[in-house]
A = this chain, B = another copy of it.
Amino acid sequence: MHGLHLTADLYQCQGSPSLMLQADAIAQLCRAEVEKAGLTCMADKWVTFPGSSGSPGGVTGTVLLAESHLAIHTWPETGSVTVDVYVCNFSANNSSKAYALMDAVLAAYQPARVMRQQIQRGDIQK
């Protein structure tokens, strides 16, 4: 279960507002970019939060991959988004696919600033 977990915290996103507010638009982006990256979507689930004080609510969701998962949370109040891409390298090294998927999602959101981190999950020893 050795794998690579990428995180990105996005600020001042300048992409389409639909990618902050509309679960369908985010799901469509994610499914398309998962496929382009050569990863396998097994299922996905999305929740749209009610807004408050006249502001629209954000969206939270995950795509369950054969290789692990993609997760996105949006905060339209602040123009912020967090993204996780976690791939297991159980049967193949999927690291380059994980980077490609993260890069594609970031390109869609167009953040003015992004904080990226990564951690190695598990170890080779079983």
Q: Chain A interface (Cβ within 8 Å of chain B)? A: 1, 3, 5, 7, 9, 11, 42-47, 49, 60-62, 64-66, 68-69, 71, 73, 75, 78, 80, 82, 84, 86, 88, 90, 115, 117, 119, 121-123, 126
Q: Are B68 and A69 within 8 A (Cβ)? A: no
Other-chain residue from B42, B43, B45, B121 in contact with A7 (beta carbon distance below 8 A): B121
A81 to B, closest residue via Cβ:
B1
Contact B126 A80 (CB under 8 A): yes
A43-B43 contact, Cβ under 8 Å, with A60-B68, A119-B119: no
Closest beta carbon of chain B to A9's beta carbon, Å? 4
7 closest A-B pairs by CB: A45-B45, A9-B122, A62-B62, A42-B47, A78-B126, A1-B80, A47-B64
